[in-house]
Structure 1
Amino acid sequence: MIMTAEQMKAAEDAAFCKGSTPAGLIEIAGEEIASVIHQYFPKPSTLVVFCGKGHNGGDALVVARHLEVQGWNILIRLTTSVDEMSPLAREHLESLEHSQCISSLPPIFGPLVILDGLLGIGAVGAPKGIIADQIIEMNHLRVKYGGFTVAVDIPSGLDATTGEVFTPCVQSDLTVTVGGVKSGLVADTATPVVGRIALVPLPDLFFSEGDPASLITPTQLRHLLPIRDFDTFKGSYGRIGILAGSLGYLGAARLVSSASVHAGAGLVTLYALPDSYEILAAACIPEVMVHRIEAYSDVFMEKLDVLALGPGLGAAYHEELRSVVRDVAHPCVVDADALNAVSADTSLLSHCVGPRLLTPHPGEMERLFPRMGRSRRDWATEFVTSYPVTLLLKGARTIIAEQGCPPVFNSTGNPGMGSGGMGDVLTGVSAALIGGGHSPRDAAMLGAWICGRAAEIAVFNDQDSQESLAASSVITHLGEAFSSLRKADC
């Protein structure tokens, strides 16, 4: 559920009436935020805490205390004198044994994490005075030292309900939102300053009202990873067919098929036209079967559990692709050039024989269904209201929509995914999940989250940077992403 700032405050007040205390909630929130930071930075580093005088600052100081115990170097920038801080915030400041309150920052060596604990959801309007100055300082440090900024609950300078970005506003890489997801965090305007979103639930909070849309979380997905039976075989996990790749775009076929293999597919078959068959047969990983076909319509005769089609196919056979999208009986993941083919006649989406998962990026979506000023959420929901398909609208905040279901926002990923081939990987992963028995919606949710998590692992385990991250590296880390979800260490 997604809620406004007022709905969040009402839930907190209800919890206090039943015996919860601000001190108890702050302690839980701070400990959990520290745990999230530890997932990204398992080795102690330097943490600079920008601390407001209220409960948001209290959360940040509890984070600092937990990281201090782990050996972090803690530096604290206050916005007021200690005497002006709330009693809870002052108490948590005094509990820090080795941290320093500083008026200016010394030179920083090694990884830097910047913690925004200035303003909470009750803040109204643009930050002013010392708060504004410290926001500017935070953003400067992030650029100067390549720091990683973590916002407590919301980035300071963002309206928690509307998503309006005031000037100045903290540029966060990760926002750890507490209790529930605030509506402003998933607004289109907020995406550039919010970054990755992690949700820290508070056990004493219950929400009687709110937006039924949601943020994809590990808790929501974990039950979708059943333990495999010991008495099992390759046919138990899906026969995946792939139509991808053409001369000049053969890499797409390799990425889709390899991603499908590494996402749990039982059998993966890549279908290739005569002009590309020999190249693909030699280039694909050995776990992928490559079959020669004379026309895309040949797949109608194949025994499959799911068909993924579109990446790297080019524009030569659009009419035939439209026929495949419409008439193949089994579920299809429709991407890239298959989407471009469909855009010439979107009415066929109302007459598809089997379930369809469409995975457009914004440019492909514009060709399918012009945006015309809609928010991304409205764009997605109005599309699935018009057509009986599942939609995964890619972007920094990927949205999954389906008729009769509230939309969901993906929470994982990083800017390193802004490179060629990432969509091909998602297509292969989604196809493998559908082949393994998931519905298109569940496959889209799990696939988007897993691909984003694999990208995070690749960057934060020191093997890649955001600049060097490639689609093939995401495939390499899919196993770790599945494991992190299953182990609940994410």
Structure 2
Amino acid sequence: VTLLELYAEVAGELAAAEERIGGEGYVGTAAPLIILDGLLGIGARPPLREPVRAACRSINRLRATNGAHVFAVDIPTGLDGDSGKVDRDCVVADFTITIGFAKAGLIADGALNYVGRLEVVPLADLHPPDKKPKEIIASPQAFQGLLPRRQYGAYKNQFGRIGVVAGSKGFIGAALMTSQGALRAGAGLVEVFVPEEIYEIVAAAAPMEAMVKPVQSYRDLLKEKADVWAVGPGLGQSRAAQILELIEKLKQPMVLDADGLNIVSEKTSILKRCKGQRLLTPHPGEMKRIYPGEKQSRAQTATTFCNRFPVTLLLKGSRTIVAERNRPLSYNTTGNPGMATGGMGDVLTGVCAGLVGQGLSLYNAARVGAWLCGRAAEIAIFNNGQSEQSLLARDVLDHLGDAFDEL
């Protein structure tokens, strides 16, 4: 029996399955349809040929019309494992389980919607060909030792005092979610600094564990004794000059997001003279404002930006990238499309700040923080009845503890 004959048999079975499964075949409590794609190995290159092409079309139709969940083994059929280029009929996988290490094509920008959730299954004797890889994949195995167990006699001052500078009229939720993210990440103390005009509202709504303080001028915060700062969510730009001064002069590590980034985009040169370490967490739109250069891949953008500015970058997206000069690019693997909703970035900002307060470097806090938030979102859907449509930032907060338990 030749391989082509086997492929033809598979294609025929899939076509028969399409005929058997009607439009009402997978509703209510019916068992889900799961398809394993292992048609071709990593050495195959587009374009696809018959009968494999027909099999791929059938897989994609079952996924689109009958809600099938597609798991690709090592690589989706029709995707080039080196370049990430895809055939027009490439299998669209929900999950790709790859062996040993992630092939370059799996993390290419153009492969994202075909690879889906990426999981690397480590093998002790199988390593990347490059001993010093330029890219690494975030995983619990990669994080071993970064979050040491707490000593029995630990006390709150050992886990960081986080200063949250966030919120303005109409955007008090940003301050609340950022502070909750820091608390849920394990921060010892969280102080929320807000404009006087919204102080009473924020104080009434804030987590009981956080301290809320009114601010007349943000310049007053130069005298505050925080270990880490989280600056920007819902801040507005009415006091941009004061915020720029904080970004430049505060000596403690700082996580910058949202309006903090928008303010920096008007004067990016300030990033070259900051007195403390800075972690920037832009989404693609914010990144374009900060770094509006020529169109590049996300990896190229992150690399060139960090070569130009002495900062750590967390470039948000469906495959979040963490970059820092002289460090390998780190690709996050957790999360789902349900995270494309307001408040997720605020939670991530707080989580990263909370991790820095516990001694993680900005680079490692960004890697671990992105993984935790994405994993919490997955748990909320898989284990707690949420969907990609109903998922909220508060669901991520509620399941951060479950995500921590996996590290």
For 1:187, the equivalent position in structure 2 comes to 108
For residues 184 and 3 of structure 2, what CA distance do their matches in structure 1 show?
Answer: 49
Aligned-residue offset at 1:216: 1.0
For 1:306, the equivalent position in structure 2 comes to 228
For residues 311 and 215 of structure 1, what CA distance do their matches in structure 2 show?
Answer: 28
Alignment partner of 1:144 is 2:65: yes
Aligned-residue offset at 1:209: 2.6
SS in 2 for 1:372: coil
- For residues 407-448 of structure 1, give each alpha carbon's deviation from its aligned partner in whole angstroms, at most 9, with x where no partner exists: 111111111111111111100000000011111001000000
For 2:188, the equivalent position in structure 1 comes to 266
Name which of 156, 160, 166 aligns with 1:238.
160
| One-letter amino acid matched to 2:147 | L
Q: What TM-score comes out, normalization by structure 2 length?
A: 0.93
Name which of 186, 193, 197 aligns with 1:275.
197
Write 1 or 2 for the structure with the bigger share of helix: 1
| One-letter amino acid matched to 1:264 | G
Alignment partner of 1:347 is 2:269: yes
For residues 136 and 102 of structure 1, what CA distance do their matches in structure 2 show?
Answer: 9
Alignment partner of 1:104 is 2:25: no
Name which of 240, 246, 260 aligns with 1:318.
240
Provide runs of 4+ in structure 1 moved above 3 Å: none
Q: Is the alpha carbon distance of 1:53 and 1:278 closer, same or farther for their aligned partners in structure 2, counting shifts above 3 Å?
A: farther
For residues 198 and 337 of structure 2, what CA distance do their matches in structure 1 show?
Answer: 33
Aligned-residue offset at 1:296: 1.3
User: 2:140·2:406 contact (CA, 8 Å) conserved in 1?
Assistant: no
Alignment partner of 1:122 is 2:43: yes
SS in 2 for 1:281: helix
| One-letter amino acid matched to 2:165 | L
For 2:348, the equivalent position in structure 1 comes to 426
For residues 56 and 138 of structure 2, what CA distance do their matches in structure 1 show?
Answer: 29
Give the stretch that moved more between structures: 298-307 or 429-438.
Answer: 298-307
In percent, how many aligned pairs have the same letter? 47
| One-letter amino acid matched to 2:149 | I
For 1:22, the equivalent position in structure 2 comes to none
| One-letter amino acid matched to 1:79 | Y
Alignment partner of 1:79 is 2:13: no
For residues 262 and 144 of structure 2, what CA distance do their matches in structure 1 show?
Answer: 34
SS in 1 for 2:141: helix
For residues 207 and 432 of structure 1, what CA distance do their matches in structure 2 show?
Answer: 32
SS in 1 for 2:235: coil
Q: What TM-score comes out, normalization by structure 1 length?
A: 0.78
Name which of 166, 171, 177 aligns with 2:98.
177
| One-letter amino acid matched to 1:345 | K
Alignment partner of 1:337 is 2:249: no
What does residue range 83-94 of structure 1 map to in structure 2 within 5 Å?
Answer: none
For residues 114 and 341 of structure 1, what CA distance do their matches in structure 2 show?
Answer: 48
Q: Is the alpha carbon distance of 1:242 and 1:403 closer, same or farther for their aligned partners in structure 2, counting shifts above 3 Å?
A: same
Name which of 265, 273, 287 aligns with 1:365.
287
Aligned-residue offset at 1:402: 0.5
| One-letter amino acid matched to 2:254 | C
For 1:409, the equivalent position in structure 2 comes to 331
Segments of 5+ residues of structure 1 without an aligned counterpart are 1-51, 55-76, 83-100, 486-490
- For residues 114-155 of structure 1, give each alpha carbon's deviation from its aligned partner in whole angstroms, at most 9, with x where no partner exists: 211111111122112121111111111112222221111111
| One-letter amino acid matched to 2:228 | V
Aligned-residue offset at 1:334: 0.5
| One-letter amino acid matched to 1:393 | L
For 2:310, the equivalent position in structure 1 comes to 388
Number of residues paired by the alignment?
394
Aligned-residue offset at 1:208: 4.2
User: 2:99·2:123 contact (CA, 8 Å) conserved in 1?
Assistant: yes
- For residues 432-483 of structure 1, give each alpha carbon's deviation from its aligned partner in whole angstroms, at most 9, with x where no partner exists: 0001111100100000000010011111114200110011100100000000
- For residues 76-110 of structure 1, give each alpha carbon's deviation from its aligned partner in whole angstroms, at most 9, with x where no partner exists: x962459xxxxxxxxxxxxxxxxxx7762243532
SS in 2 for 1:484: coil
Alignment partner of 1:397 is 2:319: yes
Name which of 118, 125, 134 aligns with 1:204.
125
Give the stretch that moved more between structures: 350-359 or 120-129.
Answer: 120-129
Segments of 5+ residues of structure 2 without an aligned counterpart are none
Give the stretch that moved more between structures: 200-209 or 185-194.
Answer: 200-209
User: 1:53·1:118 contact (CA, 8 Å) conserved in 2?
Assistant: no
User: 2:8·2:52 contact (CA, 8 Å) conserved in 1?
Assistant: no
